[in-house]
Structure 1
Amino acid sequence: MRAVWALMRRGHDLVVTAMAVVAGLALVWLMVAIVWSVGMRNLGMQPHAWLFTSTEYGVFYMTMLGAPWLVRRRGHVHIELVTATLPDGVRALVSRAVAAGCVVVCGYLAWRGYLLVQTNIARMDFDVRAYFYPRWLLTIAFPVSFGLMAVEFARFAVGRELMHTGQAGIHE
């Protein structure tokens, strides 16, 4: 049974890391697309419509796909100023409670995202701007990302590590 859990954890870690790599590639694409678009404008040309649309999608995917990795690395926005002043036992309790709350919120958002994907598929919704893009390919990021964030927050809620280190200002 322990081997199964280890395999599942490695698979989960691989998925989260792969999503972070894709988010990084989206960031590179954003840089290229923006330079390309600005260059075209400076040369008096009209940038391609798909160029603008792809940057919008890139910002969205970069945010959603990178979020679980950021949670794992404690790179998400949270304030250590208050928790750093708490005694160790109280800080651990507060940190686990906050992480558990995050699990609940992310789980709810993952569920609502799943329902949204189902609706997009049932209605055969398309994002129609520069090209026809099935909307579910956008909204699938919600249940996947929020579901994986719930798992990452759960690691802090019940695992050995705490989300709040008690070292305010150390990592800035």
Structure 2
Amino acid sequence: MAGLNRLYLGILYAMAGIAGAMLVWLMISVVVSVTMRNLGLQPFAWLFTSSEYAILYMTMLGAPWLVREKGHVHIELVTAALPGPARRIVSRTVAAICVAVCAMLAWKGGELMLTNIARNDLDVRAYYFPKWILTAAFPVSFGLMAVEFARFVFGDDLLHSGEAGIHE
């Protein structure tokens, strides 16, 4: 079980690392594109397309890690006003709703990816690019987010700390 947990964490952190690398790529591609335009040159066609794909993948690949680290945005105003037992119930209920939503989005994302494969859908911009490669991120990322939110439903740790304000 410990080996499976290490493998899972390795995948989660690798996805976050790839998302971080894509953020760096976005910065580079924007700087190169703007520089080329300012020099009167036409930016490469693949430059803009790769930036769009990177935005999608960066978001999807980094999201499960953000859930694990409680790095997503949420408001603690209500949970801070609740007593401990009520806060635990509210926090676990919110996490359970998040599990349900993420599981549904993973399912629908999987259906979309399979439809893209069956239809041989292509994203036609700079190049002909199979759409399933883009939509494959949905079932994987939302599935892992469902797993991570489930940790807050069934584990010892709560999604909400009950502390309003910024605590860094």
Q: TM-score, normalised by structure 2?
A: 0.97
Deviations for 1:112-149, whole angstroms, at most 9, x for unmatched residues?
00000100000011111001111000000000000000
Q: 2:28 aligns to what?
A: 32
Deviations for 1:31-77, whole angstroms, at most 9, x for unmatched residues?
00000000000100010111000000011100000000000111112
Q: C-alpha distance in 1, partners of 2:4/2:115? A: 30
Structure 1 position 155 matched with structure 2 position 124: no
- Report the aligned-residue RMSD: 0.9
Q: 1:42 aligns to what?
A: 38
Counterpart amino acid of 2:77? L
Q: C-alpha distance in 1, partners of 2:154/2:147? A: 11
Measure how far apart 1:95 and its partner are.
0.3
Measure how far apart 1:9 and its partner are.
2.1
Structure 1 position 167 matched with structure 2 position 163: yes
Measure how far apart 1:78 and its partner are.
1.1
Q: C-alpha distance in 2, partners of 1:168/1:13? A: 29
Q: C-alpha distance in 2, partners of 1:15/1:136? A: 21
Q: 2:72 aligns to what?
A: 76
Secondary structure in structure 2 of the residue aligned to 1:93: helix
Structure 1 position 112 matched with structure 2 position 108: yes
Measure how far apart 1:8 and its partner are.
2.3
Q: C-alpha distance in 2, partners of 1:152/1:14? A: 14
Structure 1 position 88 matched with structure 2 position 73: no
Measure how far apart 1:7 and its partner are.
2.4
Identity across matched positions, percent = 65
Q: 2:135 aligns to what?
A: 139
Q: C-alpha distance in 2, partners of 1:169/1:103? A: 25
Runs ≥4 residues deviating over 3 A: none
Measure how far apart 1:170 and its partner are.
3.4
Measure how far apart 1:23 and its partner are.
0.2
Secondary structure in structure 2 of the residue aligned to 1:127: strand
Secondary structure in structure 2 of the residue aligned to 1:27: helix
Q: 1:23 aligns to what?
A: 19
Measure how far apart 1:168 and its partner are.
1.6
Q: TM-score, normalised by structure 1?
A: 0.95
